[in-house]
Structure 1
Amino acid sequence: MTKIAFVTDSTAYLTPEKAEAFGITVVPLSVVFEGEVYREGVDISAADFYQRLTASKAFPTTSQPPVGEFVEVFTRLLETHDVVMCLLLSSKLSGTFESAQTAAQMVDGQVIVVDSRISSYGIAGPLLDGVQLAKAGGTPEEIQALWAKELDTMHAYFVVDTLEMLHRGGRIGGAAAVFGALLQIKPILTMRDGRIDLFEKVRTHKRAMERMLSEFDADARTGRRLKVGVVHAQRYNDAVALRDQLTSQYPNIETDISELGPVIGAHTGPGLLALVYYDAQD
């Protein structure tokens, strides 16, 4: 049986316990605050980051892992494995995928690098499915095919608490930010072609949540099996309540909870609540 090692980046937001349990190597991206570089999940926690984000006047920037870090990881893993499989943050959001591709060409051995075209649970869910398939004897080709099917059925809806971070990050204009704040606009974001995009603007948080849940209901009520990530930024209790609501309402879904860390949170800010889901293939 082919020995397969799995690699992802920190924007999959796997807990350290889950990464260890599944034998996944996580390469961190970094967030830069006022000239100081912090590796996500290593030098700064999500709680510390959001506290600094709301208190700081300076907008943080983010940076991808250097090619050399991927080279080191791939080289080390290939000493004990036949193949390294790498599922990473959308190439439209970061140069992480490109760094890993470059590194893969610099090492001796087979390294397969896949663009998830998404982040957070959209990476973590398929990644864990791939590990399970490998444990059951699946080949790298079968795992790639599984990922392709799951990523093609991926849906993501994000309810953002504030427009401020999107404005500060250059994603919307100043007038739109002020207008949205005055009218209590709550944007619903989605992923299109690997990029964060506006799905709809809704008045009030309640209506935004209702709209997101109506989109999810259209898919869940078909009865097909879905794997669902309830993703949040500093809204754990709300995420638990939403997970419990969905699992009691839809017997055909499998749910998990994921918290956004500094790199993606730098663009969304605290208060985000999202649903990321795909069709189960097993």
Structure 2
Amino acid sequence: MTIAIVTDSTASLDPDDARREKIAVVPTTVVVGSEVFTEGVDITADRIAEALAQKVKVSTSRPSPETFAAVYAGLVADGATEIVSVHLSSKVSGTIDSARMAAARCPVPVHFVDTRQVGIATGFAAAAAARLRDLGASSAEIVAAARAAGERSTVLLYVDTLEYLKRGGRVGVAASVIGSALAVKPILTVRDGEVVPLEKVRTASKALARVVELARQATERFPAGFVAGVQHLAARERAEDVAAQLAEVWGWDHVPVDEVGADIGAHVGPGMIAVTVTGR
């Protein structure tokens, strides 16, 4: 029995890591102005940040069922007898719906995991699935591990403005709670698969300090250890500072810092900082 692991490009997996862990990544589509791009192929988050700063319209769309079908077919041709497909929350994207439609035409069983998370939290769940597969686990055990990784994840998002999340329909409740006060810097989280407000702070520096503290508190639930990462859009210096503070708090040599993918970047806007913690 050969079990293949699939995720989507919003999982923010490094291409080298995905290849090493044998995780197939299905790309989303990003539209900048009138140009159509494929995430991870011909568009970067830097391009997205530039477009947003210039007020160019940016939108995203889920992978088509045909795209998923082609990936599944390739895996079957390579010998897969089962597929575990791990994706971002169905409450913020229809990606898993496309995957399900493609699975109806797949000649081998496809098992789905709605991580109810976004960003690298989905990537951590896919990586957990790959580790279990390599240990010889069954598809049911792999699905359970990926789902549990999503449940054990805490995502903390700082954004300079809610404009981009509101524009993409990715946040509704947060807008009503935080309102339009320009001086407020929102901290968001993912709860029950949706992006929701957690706290509001008056300045960016205080908000980021609070994110560090909330991340520290989140790890207290995981005595067996955890993985973590910091993501950003056009804010590397700010992200490196947050990572350095977290490394000191946790006694690590360093905390990985990466720029978000183009798809997520289109919805959060420049200046975003995200800290993700997933318990082992």
Q: Is this a same-fold pair by TM over 0.5?
A: yes
Change in Cα spacing, 1:85 to 1:221, as seen in structure 2 (3 Å) is: closer
Q: Which runs of 5+ in 2 are unaligned?
A: none
Match of 1:74 in 2: 72
Q: CA deviation at 1:66?
A: 0.8
Q: What is the one-letter code of the residue matched to 1:103?
A: A
Give 1:112-191 correspondences, 5 Å limit. Answer: 112-169=111-168, 171=171, 179-181=180-182, 183=183, 185-191=184-190
Give the whole-Å Cα distance in 1 for the aligned partners of 2:177 and 2:232. 24
Question: Does 1:48 find its partner at 2:51?
Answer: no
Change in Cα spacing, 1:176 to 1:54, as seen in structure 2 (3 Å) is: farther
Match of 2:21 in 1: 22
Q: CA deviation at 1:195?
A: 1.3
1:188-214: per-residue Cα shift (whole Å, max 9, x none)? 111122111111221001111122222
Give 1:1-282 correspondences, 5 Å limit. Answer: 2-56=1-55, 58-79=56-77, 80-169=79-168, 171=171, 179-181=180-182, 183=183, 185-221=184-220, 224=223, 225-251=225-251, 255-280=255-280
Q: Which runs of 5+ in 1 are unaligned?
A: none
Of the structure 1 ranges 164-173 and 243-252, higher mean CA displacement relative to structure 2 is found in 164-173
Kindly, what percent of the aligned residue pairs are identical? 33
Q: CA deviation at 1:221?
A: 4.2
Of the structure 1 ranges 250-259 and 69-78, higher mean CA displacement relative to structure 2 is found in 250-259
Give the whole-Å Cα distance in 1 for the aligned partners of 2:156 and 2:253. 17
TM-score, structure 1 normalization: 0.89
Tell me, what secondary structure is at the counterpart of 2:256?
strand
> How many aligned residue pairs are there?
276
Q: CA deviation at 1:256?
A: 3.3
- Tell me, yes or no, if the aligned pair for 1:220 and 1:252 is still in contact at 8 Å: no
Change in Cα spacing, 1:180 to 1:167, as seen in structure 2 (3 Å) is: farther
Give the whole-Å Cα distance in 1 for the aligned partners of 2:112 and 2:59. 25
1:193-246: per-residue Cα shift (whole Å, max 9, x none)? 211111122100111112222222223346621221212112223333322332
Of the structure 1 ranges 250-259 and 236-245, higher mean CA displacement relative to structure 2 is found in 250-259
Tell me, what secondary structure is at the counterpart of 1:119?
coil
Change in Cα spacing, 1:113 to 1:176, as seen in structure 2 (3 Å) is: closer
1:121-176: per-residue Cα shift (whole Å, max 9, x none)? 11111211221221122221211121222211221110102233234435469999
Q: CA deviation at 1:255?
A: 4.4
Q: CA deviation at 1:71?
A: 0.9
- Tell me, yes or no, if the aligned pair for 1:13 and 1:261 is still in contact at 8 Å: yes
- Tell me, yes or no, if the aligned pair for 1:156 and 1:275 is still in contact at 8 Å: yes
Q: CA deviation at 1:42?
A: 1.2
Q: CA deviation at 1:16?
A: 1.6
Q: CA deviation at 1:260?
A: 1.4
Tell me, what secondary structure is at the counterpart of 1:130?
helix
Change in Cα spacing, 1:53 to 1:253, as seen in structure 2 (3 Å) is: same
